[in-house]
Structure 1
Amino acid sequence: MSILKPERSYTFSDYFELNYPPEMILAELGYSYQLTKLDLPHGTVKHSLDTLQAMFYRKLPHISLNSEIAKREMMIAPILLELLDEIDIKIDIEYPIYINDQLKGTLDYWIHSLNSILIVEAKKSDLEKGFTQLAAELIAIDHYLPSDHSELFGAITVGDLWRFGKLDRTTKSISRDIDAFRVPLDIPELFKILVGILSHP
């Protein structure tokens, strides 16, 4: 049974809407999938994150987070802005990319330093389907970038929860981390991983 119809065009958002297991969808794009405990790079965080963490604890109870825009502006943006104080990065927001009619659309956040990471905000607070969309975007990046790095990293988030994924360019496999990181509780660990990925040679 073919899930992806050859006569249809698919944007990254369309992969979110497909009601099939990710391993079936990704197999049609030529990649395998597994849920596992990822050994993610960890970097050294040079400045204190206490202020950011305290800000979330103090202010989030007063903010209505019932829309994707609210989560982007109040939960994701502060983390990325704080990341700019830690490491020299470039952040592309809503970056358009076209590989073919099965892999096209815009990337929520594409962050570059020595390495890069994709960050996708999951629509409808659905991390499961959101990861399928992230995987499709990682596959597009695999086609788009020269093979300077053997691994590509991404993260799916609903604002207060982050989960990482990795694409191995040699084996054409995508792994989803079984662990998740909470905001604001796990901010120090989250930053170590983001810095580790972005500074990974």
Structure 2
Amino acid sequence: MTDNMQAMAAMTRAPILDPAGSYTFSKYAELPFDTADILAEFDVSLKNASLQLPQRLPIDSKSLEIELQENLTLVDPASEIARREALIFPILKTVCKFMQAPLKIEYPVRVNPRLKGTFDYFIPTPQSLVVIEAKNADLAKGFTQLAVELIALDQWTSSPVPILYGTVTTGDTWKFGLFERQARVVHKDINAYAVPNDLNRVLGILFGITLSIPEEGA
């Protein structure tokens, strides 16, 4: 199918969301539709790529690695609460503590009835970061939710940064994405990183995003 034919098909496709309906962010992870089709409802496209994400590692991560390994020996991260307490929160706390930045938990955002809910975690630095925990440890569905939250953040924030970043995690696996605001494209990283094995990589990306000086001109 040519690009023109795909564009025509998209134009004639029936809406999959109720225009008068009300949707929370977490609801999008429950819908049976393809991520690209859901994003098309917001005039946003989806691209899969090996992303070249910002990276910086301004700390020695050894103590955090030991803490995570100890947590995993003490706690079975089978439940969402266990994953949050044992893996996700210690990593994000480390980032925010170094930066002296707040860590917003269950942060409420409302743009309109189709874009509302809470960000599981939100780090409001000049180059802010949205972090969500994949419900039922489903990264694919979790990324759909993350993508919609980035679309909401685009409309909600007054920041002029051209790119918005986010990550979805099960605690032991992290996947990143970004939203090109002007082009209206969500990019999904085809790579995933394991914790604690890839801890330096995950920390490096988290610091790289939140410590970067954003370019204006969205």
Q: Taking structure 1 as the reference length, what is the TM-score of the superposition? A: 0.95
Q: Once the two structures are superposed, what CA deviation does each residue of 1:94-137 show, in whole Å capped at 9, x if it has no partner?
A: 11111111100011001022311000000000000000000111
Q: Which residue of 2 aligns with 1:29?
A: 42
Equivalent-residue separation in structure 2 for 1:107 and 1:168 (angstroms): 19
Per the alignment, residue 134 of structure 1 pairs with 146
Amino acid across the alignment from 1:179: N
Give the C-alpha shift of residue 147 in structure 1: 4.3
Q: What secondary structure is seen at the aligned counterpart in 2 of 1:17?
A: coil
- Alpha-carbon shift at residue 87 of structure 1 (Å): 2.0
Unaligned runs of 5+ in 2: 1-13, 214-218
Change (3 A) 1:86 1:107: same
Instruction: State the secondary structure of the residue aligned to 1:109.
Output: strand
d(CA) in 2 for partners of 1:64, 1:11: 29
* Contact 1:42/1:193 (8 A) holds in 2: yes
Instruction: Say if 2:126 and 2:210, in contact at 8 Å, map to a contact too.
Output: yes
1:154 matched to 2:131? The reply is no
Cα distance per residue 1:116-172 (max 9 Å; x no partner):
100000000000000000011100000011242000000000000000000001101
- After superposition, the C-alpha distances for 1:51-96 in whole angstroms (9 at most, x for unaligned) are 1112222331331212111111111111112113432322111111
Matched to 2:15, the amino acid is S
Residues 59 and 95 of structure 1: CA distance in aligned 2, closer, same or farther (over 3 Å)? closer
SS state of the match for residue 82, structure 2? helix
Superposed, 1:176-191 pairs within 5 Å as: 176-191=188-203
What secondary structure is seen at the aligned counterpart in 1 of 2:98? Answer: coil
Partners of 1:144 and 1:58 in 2: CA distance = 39
- Which residue of the other structure, out of 114, 117, 120, is the alignment partner of 2:132? 120
Aligned-residue sequence identity (percent) comes to: 41
Query: Does the CA contact (< 8 Å) of 2:108 and 2:117 recur in 1?
Result: yes
- Matches of 1:167 and 1:18, distance apart in 2: 21
AA paired with 1:175? H
What letter matches 1:61 in structure 2? T
TM-score for the superposition, normalised by structure 2: 0.88
Partner of 1:8: 21
Whole-angstrom distance in 1 between the partners of 2:33 and 2:188? 16
Are the counterparts in 1 of residues 93 and 103 from structure 2 also a CA contact under 8 Å? no
Asked which structure has the greater RCO (Cα within 8 Å, sep 6+), the reply is 1
Q: Paired residue for 2:100?
A: 88
Residue matched to 1:17: 30
Structure 1 residue aligned with 2:205 = 193
| Aligned partners of 2:121 and 2:132 also within 8 Å | yes
Which amino acid in 1 is paired with 2:42?
A: L
Please give the alpha-carbon distance, in whole angstroms, between the structure 2 residues aligned to 1:193 and 1:53: 16
Equivalent pair of 1:103/1:137 in contact (CA under 8 Å) = yes
Distance 1:4 1:17 in 2: 13
Q: Is the 8 A contact 2:71 2:87 kept in 1?
A: no
**Counterpart of 1:7 in structure 2: which amino acid?**
A
**Deviation (angstroms), 1:199:** 1.4
**Match of residue 103, structure 1, among 91, 110, 115:** 115
| One-letter amino acid matched to 1:113 | T
